Amino acid sequence: MTTFLTPSRRGFLVLSGMGLALAGCSTVSVLAPTPGATDQTAAALPLVNELRKKNGLSTLSSVNASRKAAAVQAVRMAKADEMQHLIGLGDSFYNRMKASDVTLPAAENIASGQNEVERAVQAWIDSPKHLKNMLGSYSGLGVAVAYAKDGRPYWSMILSS
């Protein structure tokens, strides 16, 4: 029988794993979402749907789960004051979408610095990878913005199936 107090390779590995798990938990909890996002889906939806119509695609609808996921990501970025898809140890796009009940497959566009929804959508249109997401086989949309302490806006768009 091995105990944690007996110096052994196995005991060291178990304790190391526990330490990493705890570090991951503390990092994620620090960056947990808080209220503070503004839903911009209603303003973004006509802009995205116009783009999709011009490209012969069906229109998107506002979806509560996508709106929630967009708000969560916008707040996370504003809180961290960095534009990143993945923030913190153990972050996962799949787990974030699952936690918000987003129907997969899904895609995420992020932006920072634009003061208006029109400018954020245009920045995504001007980016080939983001444009590809907006022209993808999706049916749902959610868009949100949150502001860092210094007033910098962080945008998130979630496209869902």
Peptide bond into 105 cis (omega under 30): yes
**27 torsion bin: left (phi>0), alpha (psi -120 to 50), beta (else):** alpha
- Helix runs in the chain, H state only: 9-30, 41-54, 64-80, 93-99, 117-125, 128-134
Q: How many domains does the chain have?
A: 1
Residue 149 lies in a domain: yes
| pLDDT at res. 92 | 80
Residue 56 lies in a domain: yes
Residue 42 lies in a domain: yes
Residue stretches of the chain with pLDDT short of 70: 1-35, 83-84, 86, 88
| Residue 97 CB neighbours (<10 A) | 23
| pLDDT at res. 71 | 94
Residue 30 lies in a domain: no
The three-point CA angle 118-122-128 to 5° equals: 155
Residue 50 lies in a domain: yes
Spatial contact of 92 and 31, defined as CB atoms under 8 Å apart: no
Residue 13 lies in a domain: no
Residue 133 lies in a domain: yes
List % helix, strand, coil for the chain (3-state, nearest 5): 45, 15, 35
| pLDDT at res. 74 | 95
Range of the domain at 108: 38-160
Residue 32 lies in a domain: no
| pLDDT at res. 24 | 39
Please report, for the domain that includes residue 115, its CATH number.
Answer: 3.40.33.10
| pLDDT at res. 44 | 97
